[in-house]
Amino acid sequence: MTSVAAGVTRNLSISQADGGRSKSEQRLIPISIMGKAYQVPADATIMGAIEYAGHQIVRGAGCREGYCGACATLYRLPGDYKIHTGLACMTMVEEGMTLAQIPYVPAEKSIYDIEELKPNVSAIQQMYPSVFRCVACNTCTKSCPQGLQVMDYVQAAKRGDIAAVMDLSFDCVVCGLCMLRCPAEITQPLMGIMAKRLYGRYLRKDSPELAERVKAVESGAYDAEYAKLMPMSREALSKLYYARDSE
């Protein structure tokens, strides 16, 4: 959660939030953070706004630039009865927003030996029987900050289609928002993790490209590049990272 800290150092997220402008040049808007009113920059992310307001985030922050799942947030907007979900590092503040961070959603993780399970519906029934309480309301899908088709992979699990569960849940970062909103109280992300493990153990196809790349790494083909990167400063690495070609 957040804790108030006097004189908190403004970090990268704050610099990004205010664009390097002085406070007098910023347009501030009112929002409520954990039940208390603040004025924050209108162009801030929720995470930037929390820290701008003087809170030090000790839980609920990870990568800070997208999709590690550590900064799950619930919020409401003026005149809107809905509870919205988002990741604090990616969601922008809006005037009158009322928000609360949810850094961790309690969930019981099933303990199993992957060698004793088979990639079929019996594994789901045995380890995550809550899946069969699904009422197909689609609330889980609506709450996912990555837009994953959560309900679809829950239905695939009920059919025992482990490959489909793996595929549809592959990008899940286990932020827990789907579990938090689910009226049937299903632990969708944990079931998805098991499905991915089952797929990897029993159903995956061999990848000659992967084998070739592993062989290249083990032979030292990239040692010179590693040696060049290791002594570089954080700033230099960041500049190199954002200048890379990406899809």
Superfamily of domain covering 2-101: Beta-grasp domain (3.10.20.30)
The domain limits of the chain are 2-101, 114-203
pLDDT digits (tens, 9 = 90+) for 103-134: 889 999 999 999 999 999 999 999 999 999 99
- Sign of torsion over alpha carbons 230, 236, 242, 245: negative
In Å, what is the CA distance from 100 to each residue of 4, 66, 89, 122, 124? 15, 18, 13, 38, 33
* Cα–Cα dist 244/59, whole Å: 30
Q: Determine the residue type at 4.
A: V
Task: Classify domain 114-203 by CATH architecture.
Answer: Orthogonal Bundle (1.10)
Residue 186 phi, psi (nearest 5): -85, 150
User: Any idea which of 103-112, 178-187, 238-247 has the lowest mean pLDDT?
Assistant: 238-247
How is residue 83 written in tokens? 């509870």
pLDDT digits (tens, 9 = 90+) for 35-90: 999 999 999 999 999 999 998 887 777 777 667 889 999 999 999 999 999 999 99
* Cα–Cα dist 165/192, whole Å: 6
Q: What is the pTM of this model?
A: 0.76
* Cα–Cα dist 98/76, whole Å: 5
Percent of the chain whose predicted confidence (pLDDT) is above 90: 77
* Cα–Cα dist 30/38, whole Å: 6
Is the distance from CB of 11 to CB of 57 less than 8 angstroms?
Answer: no
